[in-house]
Structure 1
Amino acid sequence: MNSTLTIAKPATADADDIPTPQLLLQRARALLPALSQRAEQAARQRRVPEQTVEDLRRAGLFRVLQARRYGGYEMPPEVFYEIQMTLARACMSTAWIYGVIAVHNWQMALLDDRASQEVWARDPSALIASSYMPKGQVTRVDGGFRFSGRWGYSSGIDHCQWVLLGGLVPALREGEPPEYRTFLLPRRDIEVLDTWDTMGLRATGSHDVLVRDAFVPEHRTHRSADGFAGTSPGLAINSAPLYRLPFGQIFVRAVSSSAIGALQGALEVFRDFAGERVGDMGTRTAEQGSVQVAVAETAAAIDEMKLVLQRNFAQLMDAAERGVAMDIETRLHYRYQAASVVERCAQLVYRLFVSSGARGLFNDNPLVRHFLDIHAGRTHYANNPDLFARNYGGVLLGRANTDFFI
């Protein structure tokens, strides 16, 4: 049972054609006025406009973590997250789908290279969505698996030609636990169900995905255990240290970092608002001590969260370049810090919101969108700090680790 074709690989990206990180960030910043202008319409339509996705493509932003052998740039993760945070200053929904789509280009380097050939040989700009929920019903067959199920929260799926979906493969031996994998499917094998109508992150179009008994060849699957241990089959070809980073560390930051950028955007619009506002009781907002403290603490927290992100990936990359496995305790520490980001951003944007007074309730206040989007991002499973604090704290107290998505 073989659904693949023999396809020639596209040419490797020429180093002279790869833009600098500074140029990519400049291109991201140049998009902010258009993203702000489109944000209201995007929320009404419950999807990021095609024009925005095309702008991101033309700017080369989706290629940051993509393998050079498929036209990518293989840049450090810090560049990817800085771009995401920059976009979120204007539109967190755009930054959210950018993060979760572009991070799949990194994961593709871990799969058997035949999978990348199928996705990118004809079109190196093809995009991949996901839902990692372990919802797939999986049956082993000759050459691969029969695969069915329904998944929620597939952000940006309207813009993607492929999708990665989670499923549990039954154990080969009785008594052993099932094996978690992600399964790569083409658009023709899925049905998108229009389910996304939410208070925040409305433009992410995070609809449900339905699969009815599709065949997925073995090479289009990725074992979670390989991502944890650094034994993924694609590493035989994609040898850059970037792809030896732990899968869990890369992905979780893709669903938390946009909140930092959105908080920065909220602070910017609040400063414009509060700097001129005189309340109904005649008090200038900018002269209120509690408001001044809220602004100062928000600005300092944004700086701190960015520095922690940069420090963590600098150390992860250093370990990868030296071929050293990062210890479990450090990985759990970084995992907890990633999970804490959106909770912290939600608390800080709440303080800015209430500091706006009753005038801040109106929907024409741009702070409202940032407030709702950040709180919506907090509901993602990966952004629940309590879950990961308990595991991390337990390990520090001598208990066994229970989380391998680190």
Structure 2
Amino acid sequence: MTITSDSRPETSATPGENFIAIAQSLVPGLKDRAEETELLRKLPDATVEELRAVNYVGAAMPARFGGRDLGFDVIGRASADLAEGCPATAWVAANCALHTFMLGYFPLAIQELVFGDTGVTPFIGNGLKMSQAKAQSAPGGYRLTGRWDFSSGIMHADWTMVAAISDVGPKLFLVNKSQFTIDDTWETHGLRGTGSHDTVVDDQFIADEFVLNLQSLGDGTAPGLQVQTNPFYRVPIFSLAAGGIIASLIGAGRQAVQIFEERALVVPGGWTGVFGATRPGLQVDLADASASLATVERLHWSNLEEIKEKAENDLEITIDDRVRWRRDQTFASVRIAEMVQKLFASSGGQALQWKNPINRAFRDATAASHHIGVQPDLVYPAYSKVRFGVDPEYTVF
């Protein structure tokens, strides 16, 4: 099914509720195309068309450019719903929505150039790993060279944002698709449909107005912030950046619970053909998994509501808030990945089939939990050090 701008399921509900309803309307088609998405190692054209038609990646885009100007509390819930259909699609959609929001940090003239008046919101990729990138200041800008792996959604990107260490400090560069190439490297265990290939830039000139100090994303000094009205621009970006990861994990977790429950009722297992629903061990597994998922979801949505309240009321966001939110995002990742793995392990030999839906949910959840932004050995110590009054050192929070 193709959703067009004229067929959006808009109602008299709030803009946020409308957007969530739109996301839910896309789920059946995403489920139907989940296997195709894996095989293509990118989003199918039909999926990209649907996301563009409903302006999904423009969810937090400024209204002056035709965006929805929504908050990440809404985008998080909508993306978790998308992920029930396809976690890889939700991963790309949520992250591109974040990057479109991040364009608002750039000067207004750059926002006007990129958003333009075409009525089509650009897909913006990203690459923040700086170890294989370098930039040298030059008259009027920088010469940029580098390779960025894990570039989710880059196959559909009109622009990308990449980070690099320059001779005058770490910078964020906005790069047009005419200035980068894509190296096909994404042969992975899970989230194959994200098409997170390598982005390559070879000695390209990037003008100053397309460059930000990386620090400005967290300290409120980015030039574009002067014209923004969305209160979520008051939130340090690293408090929001893991939202797409958690949404994809929640969707994969919901998939796994639903599939496990349905198959236990209708698929005979073992040598005797006993239905899983009658086995006490599987009964325990389902109860434990559903409780774990419900607990994680309550924690995650509660934190997003807290972030929203602080942003809307211009309340101080302390370092304690930031490390706690990052701790909870990481906790959610760990717990959902463990829960899905347990359901996969309890699903018997049939779950080993690559096309089995619970196999895909397991692989996608495992892949999502491997993101560097939700690694306990990096995030948890920062929380504990702040609580102990020690310099946290790790600054991505």
The TM-score bracket by the shorter chain reads: over 0.9
Q: 1:226 is matched with which residue: 212, 216, 220? A: 216
Q: 2:260 is matched with which residue: 270, 290, 296? A: 270
Q: CA deviation at 1:352?
A: 0.8
Q: Corresponding residue for 1:137?
A: 134
8 Å Cα contact 1:298/1:348 also seen in 2:
yes
Cα gap change, 1:224 to 1:17, in 2 (>3 Å): farther
Q: CA deviation at 1:131?
A: 0.8
Separation in 2, partners of 1:43, 1:19: 34
8 Å Cα contact 1:50/1:159 also seen in 2:
no
The code of the aligned residue for 1:136 comes to A
Q: Corresponding residue for 1:329?
A: 320
8 Å Cα contact 1:277/1:286 also seen in 2:
no
Q: Corresponding residue for 1:204?
A: 194
8 Å Cα contact 2:352/2:359 also seen in 1:
yes
8 Å Cα contact 1:165/1:182 also seen in 2:
yes
- How many aligned residue pairs are there? 384
Say whether 1:83 aligns with 2:74.
no
Q: CA deviation at 1:101?
A: 0.9
> Helix, strand or coil: the match of 1:274?
helix
Residues 262-308 of structure 1 show CA distances to partners (whole Å, capped at 9, x for unaligned) of: 11011111111011233224333112222222212222222222222
Say whether 1:57 aligns with 2:48.
no
Say whether 1:92 aligns with 2:87.
yes
Matches within 5 A, 1:62-211: 62-123=57-118, 124-134=120-130, 135-171=132-168, 179-211=169-201
Given the two structures, how large is their TM-score scaled by the length of structure 1?
A: 0.90
Q: 1:366 is matched with which residue: 343, 357, 364? A: 357
Q: 1:350 is matched with which residue: 341, 357, 360? A: 341
8 Å Cα contact 1:84/1:98 also seen in 2:
yes
8 Å Cα contact 2:35/2:355 also seen in 1:
no
Separation in 2, partners of 1:85, 1:336: 19
8 Å Cα contact 1:228/1:404 also seen in 2:
no
The code of the aligned residue for 2:234 comes to R
> Helix, strand or coil: the match of 2:85?
coil
The code of the aligned residue for 1:332 comes to V
Separation in 2, partners of 1:301, 1:222: 40
Q: CA deviation at 1:190?
A: 0.4
% of aligned pairs identical? 28
Q: Corresponding residue for 1:13?
A: none
Q: Which moved more, 1:293-302 or 1:207-216?
A: 293-302
Say whether 1:380 aligns with 2:371.
yes
Separation in 2, partners of 1:254, 1:156: 12
Q: 1:37 is matched with which residue: 27, 32, 41? A: 32
The code of the aligned residue for 1:310 comes to W
Gaps of 5+ in 1: 1-15, 172-178
> Helix, strand or coil: the match of 1:215?
strand
> Helix, strand or coil: the match of 2:150?
strand
Separation in 2, partners of 1:128, 1:34: 23
8 Å Cα contact 2:71/2:230 also seen in 1:
no
The code of the aligned residue for 2:35 comes to E
